[in-house]
Amino acid sequence: MQGKGNLGERVEKMKLTNTPYDDVFRTLVNDCSGLIIPVINEVFHEHYTGEEEIVFSPNEHFENRQDGEEDEVITDSCFQIIGMYIKKYHLECQSGPDSSMLLRFWEYDTQIALDQGELHENILRVTLPHSAVLFLRSNRNTPDKLKTEVATPGGTVTYDIPVMKVKQYTLEEIFEKELLLLIPFYIFTHEQRFDEYENDAGKLEELKAEYEEIKNRLEELQEKQKISEYTKCTVMDMSNKVLEHIAAKHESIRKGVKSVMGGKVLEYEAKTIRNEGRREGRSEGRLEMLFDLVDKGLLSIAEAAVMTNLTEELFKKKMMVYRK
């Protein structure tokens, strides 16, 4: 068993760790939120249709230290899916197996639960999110789930954190199950053969052909209006960003795959316009939806206020105006 000091040091160390792959994951989840639903269905065996509302919580959380200062912790993604029921989810992306993930999940999940907890008389109610991790690298020893055991004065509670592994999915399965969020990370399935591709032009052509298929199938989905032009471009652009880092020392692979997927395919001016339109067009409708959920007792005012980045007082005032 490791002592407190060791655990504390590992927590401090992991707070400083961030990779370009985390940034790609956050971009995909936040800018193309529709890609989340198939992943949730796959990992948690849910049956969401894609018509549900996805409401993001702030990724930045602040925890108090004993000296009175606050530490900022940043999750990869935290959101609620509002369908027949409301469920809270927390997803993390990790380059490879790392035992510190359990510490990271415990720290983040308890803070997420506390942020949206309810204090009623002498009872504090907190709800941990449904959490899962996506491993970009894995091997035969990588577990299918992580486990947390909490010993409380009222008894011991044990729960699992499912593990999703990029290497477990073929290209056919990715498209069949609509797991398009995995496409930018698909290059990890080829990582161990990079030297082979770099030194064998024939093998490199096979890799390029696979990415030609990815590009064609994305374009086909866009033409059938299964995904938007924006989503297609974002997936392709994020694929290039991952490629730049994972194949930094393999020029032939970088140039070869990019020649198929294209250069910088995403216009960020279009992204800005899109986001502005989304804010203007949906802000009022989203507020009205949250007002109704509060009225029905499905959300607390505290939870709804967090979702809208409003204070509870301001949310109450807007709700009063809405009811008049």
Q: Are residues 6 and 116 in the same domain?
A: yes
| pTM: predicted TM-score of the whole model, two decimal places | 0.74
Q: Which helix (H) or strand (E) holds 277?
A: helix 268-295
- Of the three residues 168, 184, 199, the one that is the final residue of a domain is 168
Look at residue 231 and tell me if it is in a domain.
no
Q: Are residues 158 and 20 in the same domain?
A: yes
Look at residue 178 and tell me if it is in a domain.
no
Q: Are residues 162 and 280 in the same domain?
A: no
Look at residue 249 and tell me if it is in a domain.
no
Domain carrying residue 294: 269-323
User: Which tokens in the block code for residue 161?
Assistant: 């954190």
Could you please report the per-residue DSSP string of 230-269?
HHHHHHHHHHHHHHHHHTTT-HHHHHHHHHHH-S----HH
Look at residue 226 and tell me if it is in a domain.
no
Q: Are residues 4 and 127 in the same domain?
A: yes
Look at residue 129 and tell me if it is in a domain.
yes
Alpha carbon separation from 166 to 31, 42, 131, 190 (Å, rounded): 21, 12, 17, 11
Look at residue 28 and tell me if it is in a domain.
yes
- Of the three residues 146, 168, 190, the one that is the final residue of a domain is 168
**Tens-digit pLDDT string for the chain (324 aa):** 344 445 545 444 444 456 789 889 998 998 899 999 999 999 999 999 998 989 887 654 334 444 444 444 445 588 999 988 899 999 999 987 676 788 888 988 998 888 878 888 889 999 999 999 999 999 989 999 999 999 999 999 999 999 999 999 999 999 999 999 999 999 999 999 999 999 999 999 999 999 999 999 999 999 999 998 889 989 999 999 999 999 999 999 999 999 998 755 544 444 554 554 444 444 556 677 777 777 767 678 887 887 777 888 887 877 877 665
Look at residue 187 and tell me if it is in a domain.
no
State the distance between the two ends of the chain, measured CA to CA, in whole angstroms. 60
Q: Are residues 273 and 164 in the same domain?
A: no
Look at residue 198 and tell me if it is in a domain.
no
CA angle 116, 121, 123 (to 5 degrees): 60
Distance of CA 258 to the CA centre of its chain: 25
Chain position carrying tokens 């064609």: 216
Number of domains in the chain: 2
Distance CA 83, CA 50 (A): 10
